[in-house]
Every structure is written in C-alpha cells, then in structure tokens.
Amino acid sequence: MKKNWPLWEVFVRSKNGLEHRHFGSLHAPDAEMALKNARDVYTRRNEGVSIWVVESINIKASNPDDNEEMFEPATDKAYRHPTFYDLPDDIEHM
C-alpha cells in the first residue's frame, strides 16, 4: 500500500495555569494515535498534564521573508509603550 503517516505538531501544557507550548512533532496515522504517541515521545517524565495535537498541514505560518511588512509597522509606534509618556519625577503609582 505505501502510504506514509502524516506529520503532527504536539503542544503540551506543563501544569495547570500555564499555556500549551509547542514541544515538537511526530508522525501518526490519525489524531487518536498522534495523542498516544505524543504521550510516549514527549511526556515520559511527567512533563505535562494536557496534550494538543494538530496535523501540521493545518497550520498556516507566516513567512520570515515577509517579516518587514509583517512586523515592522509595530516598531515605529513607540506611543504604544508606557515609557513614551512624560511624567513629573515625583509622581508615584503610575
């Protein structure tokens, strides 16, 4: 038959209160198996309390070649940061 298992991305929540974080990827025939394999590959030492898997082809990623138009508009907007604003020296709690 010769059909290769698709690639999945694995996200693990290390403990409650923290977000899921990308841990790596693996191959599996379906979501159920991807979850089981992720358990064995990425959480052999209690690294997680929750796992998400998503088939890699479903991720739309930005292209680093477009980083200029993508992210540069934010760099010249210093007024979005609190340090942009002048305050008297003796003011507190602001």
- Quick check: 35 binds other proteins (CB under 8 A)? no
CA pseudo-torsion sign 39, 44, 49, 51? negative
Among 15, 18, 29, 87, binds other proteins (CB under 8 A): 29
CA torsion 6-65-11-16 (nearest 10°) is -170
Q: Quote the least distance from Cβ 47 to other proteins, whole Å.
A: 9
Interface residue list for other proteins (CB under 8 A): 1-5, 7, 24-27, 29-30, 33, 40-42, 44-45, 61, 63-65
